[in-house]
Amino acid sequence: MLIMQSIFGKNQDLTLEDIRTILNKKFELQTLEYKELKSFNIKQVMKTVVAFLNSYDGQGCLILGLEEEKGLPKSINGIDISEVQSIPQLNAMITKNLGAIPKLIYSPIIISHLIPVNSEKNIFVIEIERKEDCVYYSKKDSVVYIRRNDESHRLDPPEALDLVFKKSSSKVVVGVNKTTHTYSNRIELEWGYMNKGNSPAIDVTSIIKIISNNPKQEILFEGRTKVDLSHLHPLFTQVYEVSVGFKEDIQAPLYPNVGVLWGKLIISPRENANLLIDIENYDRQGVTKHQLKIKTDTIGNLQIETTEPEHSTYFLTNQN
């Protein structure tokens, strides 16, 4: 976990002086929160812990014992030693009050740090990171929380149910990697699919929409099974419908955390490429959408960016 490293410049052996260095500083992190807790309240701790685990990155850093004002840590108050005496005690309280759907196989990583303030009070820094992409909830109040910007929010029952469906469904995304082959006049990218969800993806069909801002560039999309739909989408340079998972004329499911190499994306010439690729991956449970941005400079150096996948299921729809 790199959150504490980005805040303090180290990830262990914290001191009270380290805590003082962050007072009145603004950190542009959605994964950082402070709680004063004049009277220790595990319900408030679990609200933030659960929200961190349900976030996209599934991790966060919670500092207990700092007074906060408008998102800034203002002063050091500490947690009374009579309420929480040790790291094992704190970690045990978090573990005891943490629930997940489906039931966890691998527990989240919890790393806590104790920094003495005086003989009666301590600061606690809690780092947490999920190992499984489940739906987490607080057993203290049986509520699911998520992060929105830099705050933790309670989900109402329909929202929580929708999140359960999303987390338990398949989620197919595209990944590209530069091949080991070196060409003077072109770039070859391996084009593959991976299921980052929690159930098998069946009958996966991918819609690929490519926009090239360089009319002199030749783009070849080579793979096993595709249909050219470019004539139906004049606003895009190229559009394809791809069938994912075909093997000997039978479409095999794409299992969780399993990838399949589909084909190649070839760009020629390699210089001054500027591609925006819209991707929609459909299966029996829902659709996952994201974008790839592929650029090269004047000498062909490659840069690839991908947006955060947006997944929706067919089980629930929002109704006003």
Judge whether residue 204 has pLDDT over 70.
yes
Q: How confident is the model at residue 215 (pLDDT cuts 50, 70, 90)?
A: confident
The pLDDT, as a whole number, for residue 308 is 86
Mean pLDDT across 67-75: 87
Residue 161 vs residue 120, higher pLDDT = 120
For the chain, domains (ranges, CATH) are: 3-168 (3.30.950), 172-313 (2.60.40)
Between CA 163 and CA 153 the distance in angstroms is: 14
- Per-residue pLDDT band at 24 (split at 50, 70, 90): confident
d(CA 227, CA 246): 14
Under the banding of pLDDT at 50, 70 and 90, the label for residue 289 is very high
Q: What is the DSSP string of 239-297?
A: EEEEEESEETTEE--B-TT-EEEEEEEEEES-TT-EEEEEEEEE-SSEEEEEEEEEEE-
- What is the DSSP annotation of 56-76? SS-EEEEEESEEEETTEEEEE
In terms of pTM, does the model score above 0.75?
Answer: no
Q: What is the pLDDT of residue 5?
A: 86
The mean-pLDDT minimum among 27-41, 82-96, 194-208, 274-288 falls in 27-41
Q: Are 16 and 76 in contact (CB under 8 A)?
A: yes
